[in-house]
Amino acid sequence: MVMDLINALESLRKHQWHEENPLPIRHSEMMLLMCLSHNLRPGKVGIQPSELGELMDVTRPTITSMVNSLERQGYVQRLNDDSDRRVVFVRPTEKGDRLVEAARENFEETMAEMVEYLGHEDSREFVRLISKAKDFVEYKKAEQDRRKQG
């Protein structure tokens, strides 16, 4: 049973979900753009790269490289803090916002198709099982943290 689960998860991970609508940027850059869009609060100038790194659990050099690439392609912009020019914020451009919105719409369509394919009962069961798996992962993480602390 363990190998069946591993094989099922691996085959799902490897499958190309969006072959019809390939991204114009790398997957990791899309994850950064979506993280930025999701965590940028109204009225805020942007998010500092160090905070993005923490949110994504990615090193500062990796964030810098992704932000540089996204900025060159016109998906994000860097802004300096008015009171301290050393402080830099990153925010999506209109082009970046449009890409995130298109990706969100595409993902929602795909999920709606999955619900239709699975049916409502199996979809509810799938959600229940994913939630239970998430609880297990959180339990294991907390267990690891407890062992590290004492």
Identify the DSSP state of 77: E
Q: What is the pTM of this model?
A: 0.80
Total domains, the chain: 2
pLDDT (tens, 9 = 90+) of the chain, 150 residues, equals 899 888 888 887 777 555 556 789 998 999 999 999 999 999 899 999 999 999 999 999 999 999 999 999 999 999 998 888 889 999 999 999 999 999 999 889 989 999 999 999 999 999 999 999 999 999 999 999 999 897
Element (H, E) at 88: strand 88-92
Q: Could you tell me if 103 and 124 lie in one domain?
A: no
CB 38 within 8 A of CB 51: no
Domain assignment present for residue 50? The answer is yes
Q: Could you tell me if 66 and 47 lie in one domain?
A: yes
Q: Could you tell me if 62 and 94 lie in one domain?
A: yes
Identify the DSSP state of 29: H
At residue 50, the pLDDT reads 95
Q: Could you tell me if 113 and 129 lie in one domain?
A: no
d(CA 141, CA 22): 34
In three-state secondary structure terms, 138 is: helix
Domain assignment present for residue 65? The answer is yes
